[in-house]
Amino acid sequence: MSDGKNFAWFLLIAFLLSPLHSQAAERITAVYTSITGAYAPLWVGKEKKLFDKYGIEASVVYVRGTIPTSAALANGEIDFIQAGASTYIPYAAKGGDVVLLGCLSNIVLDYVLLVHPSIRRVEELRGKPVGISRAGDQTFYYIREILKRNGMGIKDVRFVQTGQQPERMAALRHGLVVATILNTPNNLALEQEGFRRLLEMEEMKIPAGVRCLITTRKFLRQRPVAAENFAKGWLHSVRFIQTQKKETMAIIGRYTNNSSAEQLQDAWQSLTYKTEIPPYVSVQKLQEQIQMLAEDQPEIRKLEASKMVDNSVLKKLDVSGWIKGLFQ
């Protein structure tokens, strides 16, 4: 064979083996809806290139609010959301295409009721301004449940729609509200300033899909391999968080603009010790959550939780031994 032909064969083989010719990574856009440590699985997966290990080119973006994310999910502008289930239940009840692939917990975690130092009992909130993100959002339902379990109702306080956690913190600091709920590490910053932690919601065992990986059934049908691989990257991120404390705290610090070692460690501990593995969605707990929300939204009462749950991706990874191998 002539030198020219040898060189041609060399070029062909080099091309076939080159990254440019290899199968292109699946592009995925994933959204987180709040700036708290609970969203670290997406941040870590992006920063440590863990999604890349499974052929996923992930774009991780912050989008505030349920309505924008629901619309973007329906239009195919985004592929995954990590968020709590509560705000997507009404959307599902109206026929929206939304499905939970996994939840890192099936009860409310981390949230604490933080109050002005003068408040010592929940009953003392009667007639006073309480901060929520917006009416009908997750914070609204959680505070309503706190009031209910203390013999009160939503008419006994004045809800003030202040926005997401940074805005609720500011409202509490400036006296616009006397109470709100926050989670790690935001609550610790205010506690150090003298605000009182009145109760921890985890102790209330409120049923809820928490830190859930959310997509659509359309996506599962059209891109099942991408769904499985993204779930792998997400779970790999969870494992990285559990085993790489220092690096995880640094990433959480960058995304939350927080340099407090105490607060970052608290966020890391929550993700490490309060995560359910395998993170199956509990249909029973989700149904209980639906019934809780239906108290003032009767139109969602008939929603069957199973219609917005698909544990099949995690089940496949579990049965194959992949999850056990990752977390052993």
List pLDDT tens digits, range 303-318: 999 999 999 999 999 9
Instruction: Give the domains, in start order, of the chain with CATH numbers.
Output: 24-108+207-327 (3.40.190.10), 112-204 (3.40.190.10)
Q: What is the pLDDT of residue 10?
A: 43
Flag whether pLDDT at 4 surpasses 80. Answer: no
3-state secondary structure of 111: coil
Q: What is the pLDDT of residue 16?
A: 45
Q: What is the pLDDT of residue 137?
A: 80
| Average pLDDT in the chain | 91
Flag whether pLDDT at 13 surpasses 80. Answer: no
Q: What angle do CA 103, 249, 181 make, to 5 degrees?
A: 55
Measured between alpha carbons, how far is 14 from 79 in angstroms, rounded to an integer? 34
Residue 240: pLDDT band with limits 50, 70, 90: very high
3-state secondary structure of 284: helix
What residues form DSSP beta bridges with 80?
30
Please tell me what DSSP assigns to residue 148. H
The two tokens of residue 269 are 């501990």
Strand intervals (E) in 11-98? 26-32, 56-62, 80-83
Residue 21: pLDDT band with limits 50, 70, 90: very low
